[in-house]
Structure 1
C-alpha cells in the first residue's frame, strides 16, 4: 500500500511511527503550513497540499484534529472519498455527527414532536462557557429523549424557543415557563454579585429574579456552594454537586496537537506554558485594576527578560488575554516573539476548539486570580501566581476569603525574574508545591474525574422528568 500523510504535527509523527513500514510505504507528507514545505521529518519530504493532485497514492491519512477541513480540501482536488482515511476517525465521526445534527435540528424545528423538551446549551465563547463540553459529551439517552442545540451568537436570538436553558453567565430567560440551569464559569475567589463593592439596587433586583426562576445550580463542592451563594443567593435545594463539564476536556490528550495546528508550529521537545491573567474589566466596564497592558509583563525590559527565561527553560508561552486587554495590546503592535503566541476568542471560535482542549498539555500555568488555576488542579499542573497589582486589585475588587493567599497553591511573585526561578524549581522537583495543590484541590472538588458532563446531564434529566409527573 502506497500512502501519503496530511499533517506534520505530533499526531502525524505518532501515527507514522506506529505503521508497519513493510506493509505501508509512506511516499511523502503534505501540510498547509508554508514554513514546513520542502523540509523533512523522518526522511519524508513535506510538500504543499497541491502535491496531492498527482493522485499517486492508494490512501491519504489525515493526521490532525482538523480532519474535516482537510478532507474538504482533498475532495475539491478530486481525491476519491474512499481514499481519505482520518487517523482520529472517532473524533472525525463525532465532528461530522455534530454538524449533521445541527443542520437536521434546524431543518426539522417546525415539525418537532410537541412533548419533547427543547434544551439550549448556551456557548457564546470558546474560553469559559460550559455549553460546548455538555454538547460534546452528551449521552445517547439524552439525544434520544430531548432536542438539544448548541447556542452561539448566530442563533442566540432564538433562545426563547427553548424550554430548558443551560447557562454559564446568567444567559437564561428568567421568567415563568423556562427551566434555567446555571453552571457559571469557574470557582469563585473574587467578590462578585451581592458582595461586589459596586453593587446597586437594580442588580440586586436582577439577582432576586434569577434566583426565583433558576431551577438548578451546578457546583464543584460544598465549599463552592458557600462561596457562590454568598455572592448570588439561591435556596440550598437548588445546588447539585456535579463538577463542571468543561473540565472534562482537561482529561483529553491532544492539546499539543491542537496548538500546533492552530499556530502552524511544532512543539516537539518544548515545554508548554500558559499565561492566563484574570479579566480586569467586567461587562459593565468596571475596572478592577489599572494594570498596564502595553506589554504583557509590564515593560519592554521585563518582557525581554521573560523571553530569556523561556529560552533557558526551552518553553513556549501561550497567552490568553481578555478580549478588551488583547485589543489594547494588539493595537500597540503585539509581539513577534517566536516563543510567545496569543490565543484569541476569534481563533478558538473559528476552529471550534475550547480553551480547555488546549490546556490539557500544559506543563505550567502562570496566572493571578483566575479560576482556571483551580480547574488545572485536577491534572496537578504546576502554578505560578504573577500578581504585580495585588494591593490595588484587593482594594478595588476584594476576595471572598482572607488571607486569600491560602487559596493560591503555588509561588506568588511580583517580579518577572522570580517566574524563571520557580519554573526551574518545578523542572527539578516534581513535588514542588504539590502538597499545597492537593490540599486546595481537595477543598474545591468533590469529584476529580472526567465524568462531570454525565452527572450534569443526569441531574437535568431527573429534574425535567420530575416536572413532567
Structure 2
C-alpha cells in the first residue's frame, strides 16, 4: 500500500513540477546512494569546483515524500537530471544521465529470484522511457545491466564512473584515519575495511540479531577479543562500514578495541566526503557479495570474501556470475579462524585481480567526470 501511495505522490508532484520552464545549465542530482560510493554526490563536487557557471542541486535522500515545492520546481527546471538509482525526469526534453551505484553482481530486476514480475516490467519501462544516457565502464557491465533491466545498447556511453576518479586520491590520510578512528599512531599500520552487502534481504532474523549483538561479521566462531589480538600482532586495523540500511536498523556502533573501529556516516558528513574518498588510504578489503570489490580492483590491493551465507544468498536473490568462489579475485572464508589465517598469508591473487579489472573497466586512463561533462556539452 505504501508503494502505491508513493507512486501516486510522484505522479502528483511530477504534474506540479511540469509547469516549470527548463533552464539551461541547470543540473539536479537525485542521490539515493548517500555517502557510500555516490557517483551523484562526487560528480556534484566536481562540477562545483570546476564548472561553477552551472547550477547544481543535490537532492537527498532520494526518493523521498518530504521534498519542498521549491525542490520540485528545481527538478522540473533542470536541463539534466542525474540519478544513482531508477531513472527519473519530469519533461521529455530533459536529459536523464543514469550513473547507477555499482557494477551489478547480485541479480536484480527481471533476473532476480525475489522480485515480482509486475514490478520488474514496470521498472523496464522506466528505463526505456526515462534513461537517455547510461554511464558504463565495460562491455561486461552493459551485458549485466541489460540482463537485469533490458536496457537498449544505444543508451550506453563508456565514460566510467565518478566514484572511480577519487579512489587513488584520498582526502583523508592513513595517519589521520588512525588518529580519528583508532586513536593510534603506528608507522607499520595497514588499515582494512569490511563492507558487507544488504544482508537484511535474506529475511533471516538471526543475522540482524547477531549484528546487533556485536557479531558484525556474522561468523559462527566470532570472538572479537581474539580477532583484535590477531589484528594487533599483524599491525592491522579494521574499519567496519555496515550497509546503510543495516546501519539504520542497528544505529551507530562504537568500539572499545584498539584495532577495530566503526565508520559511521557522521564521520563522512563531518569531513564532507564520500566513502570512496578515503578508500585509497586502506590496504585491504573484506566483503561478502558487495559489488564494491569491482571498484576496489583499481587499487590493486588484497580482497577477502566472507561466504558463509553464499548458498542462502544464491537461493534468495541470486548472483550474476559464478561459481562464486572460483571467479572472485581473492580467498573465500567461512569462519574467523580462516579469516585470520588468510590475513597472515601471502597475497597470491594479483594476476586474477588484474584480469577482472581489465574485464570490468575498459576506460582506466580517463577522468569520468570530465568525460561526462564533455558528453553533456556534445552537440
Specify which of 390, 402, 423 is matched with residue 343 of structure 2. Answer: 423
CA contact (8 A) 1:187 1:371 kept: yes
Task: State the Cα deviation string for residues 94-149 of structure 1 (Å, max 9, x = none).
Answer: xxxxxxxxxxxxxxxxxxx97623111233411132122212333988544x4333
Task: After TM superposition, give the deviation of residue 258 of structure 1 in Å.
Answer: 5.2
Corresponding position of 1:304: 225
TM-aligned CA distance change 1:114 to 1:441, over 3 Å: closer
TM-aligned CA distance change 1:174 to 1:438, over 3 Å: farther
Task: After TM superposition, give the deviation of residue 412 of structure 1 in Å.
Answer: 0.5
Task: After TM superposition, give the deviation of residue 351 of structure 1 in Å.
Answer: 2.7
Q: Matches of residues 137-156 of structure 1 in structure 2 within 5 Å?
A: 137-138=46-47, 142-144=51-53, 146-153=54-61
Corresponding position of 2:18: none
**Paired residues, number:** 342
Corresponding position of 2:354: 438
Task: After TM superposition, give the deviation of residue 254 of structure 1 in Å.
Answer: 4.0
Residue 281 of structure 1 pairs with residue 200 of structure 2: yes
Corresponding position of 1:133: 42
Task: After TM superposition, give the deviation of residue 391 of structure 1 in Å.
Answer: 1.0
TM-aligned CA distance change 1:449 to 1:281, over 3 Å: farther
CA contact (8 A) 2:22 2:79 kept: no
SS of aligned partner of 1:138: helix
Corresponding position of 2:12: none
Q: Which moved more, 1:345-354 or 1:355-364?
A: 345-354
Residue 251 of structure 1 pairs with residue 168 of structure 2: yes
Specify which of 98, 105, 110 is matched with residue 194 of structure 1. Answer: 110
Q: Matches of residues 442-457 of structure 1 in structure 2 within 5 Å?
A: 442-449=358-365, 451-457=367-373
Q: Give the ranges of 4+ consecutive aligned residues of structure 1 lying more than 6 Å apart after TM superposition.
A: none
Task: After TM superposition, give the deviation of residue 389 of structure 1 in Å.
Answer: 0.9
- TM-score (structure 2 length as normaliser): 0.81
Corresponding position of 1:72: none
Specify which of 369, 377, 382 is matched with residue 289 of structure 2. Answer: 369
Q: Which moved more, 1:202-211 or 1:222-231?
A: 202-211
Corresponding position of 2:8: none
Specify which of 320, 331, 335 is matched with residue 411 of structure 1. Answer: 331
SS of aligned partner of 2:377: helix
Q: Matches of residues 28-427 of structure 1 in structure 2 within 5 Å?
A: 116-124=24-32, 125-138=34-47, 142-144=51-53, 146-153=54-61, 157=72, 158-170=74-86, 172-173=88-89, 176-200=92-116, 201-255=118-172, 256-257=174-175, 259-260=177-178, 262-263=180-181, 265-269=183-187, 270-281=189-200, 287=203, 291=207, 292-293=210-211, 294=213, 295-298=215-218, 301-330=222-251, 335-426=255-346
Task: State the Cα deviation string for residues 57-83 of structure 1 (Å, max 9, x = none).
Answer: xxxxxxxxxxxxxxxxxxxxxxxxxxx
Greater relative contact order, per chain length (Cα 8 Å cut-off, separation 6+) = 2
Tell me the distance in 1 between the aligned counterparts of 2:326 and 2:198. 21
Tell me the distance in 2 between the aligned counterparts of 1:163 and 1:181. 11
Q: Which moved more, 1:269-278 or 1:133-142?
A: 133-142
Task: State the Cα deviation string for residues 426-459 of structure 1 (Å, max 9, x = none).
Answer: 4xx5xx2111111111111102236121112222
Task: State the Cα deviation string for residues 186-244 of structure 1 (Å, max 9, x = none).
Answer: 11111001111232203421331232221100011001000011001121111011111
Q: Which moved more, 1:177-186 or 1:341-350?
A: 341-350
Task: After TM superposition, give the deviation of residue 263 of structure 1 in Å.
Answer: 3.1
TM-aligned CA distance change 1:179 to 1:114, over 3 Å: closer
Tell me the distance in 2 between the aligned counterparts of 1:128 and 1:303. 28
After superposition, the CA RMSD in angstroms is 2.7
Q: Which moved more, 1:191-200 or 1:294-303?
A: 294-303
- TM-score (structure 1 length as normaliser): 0.67
TM-aligned CA distance change 1:267 to 1:181, over 3 Å: farther
Tell me the distance in 1 between the aligned counterparts of 2:221 and 2:49. 53
- Structure 1 runs not aligned, ≥5 long: 1-112
- Structure 2 runs not aligned, ≥5 long: 1-20, 62-66
